[in-house]
Amino acid sequence: MKNSAPKSKKRMIIYLSVFIILCIFSLFSGKLAPHDPEFVDLLSAKKAPGGDFLFGTDWLGRCIWSRILAGASSSIFASLVIVVLSMLIGCTLGLIAGYAGGWADEILMRIVDIFLAFPGIVLSIAVAGMLGPGLQNGVLALAATSWTQYARLIRSYVLSLRQENFVKAARLNGQSGLSILLRHIFPNAIRPVVVTGTLHLSGAMLSISGLSFLGLSSSSAEWGSMLSEGRSLMQQCPWMVFYPAAAIFPVTILFNLLGDSVRDVLDPGGKRRG
């Protein structure tokens, strides 16, 4: 156990460093594109990889390599925004439900049960369909249906922490409920929330790509949209599907490895409990 802790921290630092480098790279990757990702050149349509087009071209003659670089920021940062929004909504409602108790807890938890009664992706598709196509609407749809896990998690910790002596002492000192939540309870319950958030990153990436694949979260060069555009020509031009999928695969693997390493450091007993 003594030797495993430094190794876990070292792995977390490595994966976190790679994650930060990836985020920084995605901010500027569009400027590194050798061609205009939206330039249509029908004379160059369906060209195989090689020459001026490293990953080939799509059915409109657009450079796939340039489109992957241009879509990196929207694909990666959309996943981050989904997780952050879900955490904000879920933690806020979970803190209120766990600390207030009574009718507030009952109402909020019944709302959570309603959301959990439907498969997450099906509910997300329904919400995205009502909001209309677009990357922002897709992010909002996924965040609006992913907050429940954070609400249930933070509520369970609040229910146990509000009976602790330091919370009782804060009440006796005349601190308000909001002050107790923000200064005493939430800092002690943030670790499992962070662990869940990092583990949720890969799922958010696949979900936003899935909505884009269905045309409900379309973006000019989002990786899921590129998969959707290339599926009808997969036998003729397999590179139109292979390279966007090859971009999604290592990023989701990195997110999973980062989530596992964060869990091993912040919640080492979580894996055994799971």
Number of structural domains (the chain) is 1
- List, for residues 246-260, the tens digit of each pLDDT value: 999 999 999 999 988
Tokens 């930060």 -> residue:
20
Whether the pLDDT of residue 273 is over 60: the answer is: no
Taking a C-beta distance cutoff of 8 angstroms, is the pair 213, 75 a contact?
no
Containing structural domain, residue 264:
4-273
Q: How far apart are CA 13 and CA 265, in angstroms?
A: 10
- List, for residues 90-128, the tens digit of each pLDDT value: 988 888 888 887 888 888 888 888 888 877 777 788 887
* Confidence bin at 83 (pLDDT 50/70/90): very high
State what percent of residues in the chain have pLDDT above 90: 14
- List, for residues 204-248, the tens digit of each pLDDT value: 888 888 888 877 766 667 888 888 888 888 888 899 999 999 999
Closest C-alpha to 127, from 200, 26, 211: 211
Whether the pLDDT of residue 270 is over 60: the answer is: no
- CATH label of the domain that carries residue 163: 1.10.3720.10
Which whole number is the average pLDDT over 175-180? 77
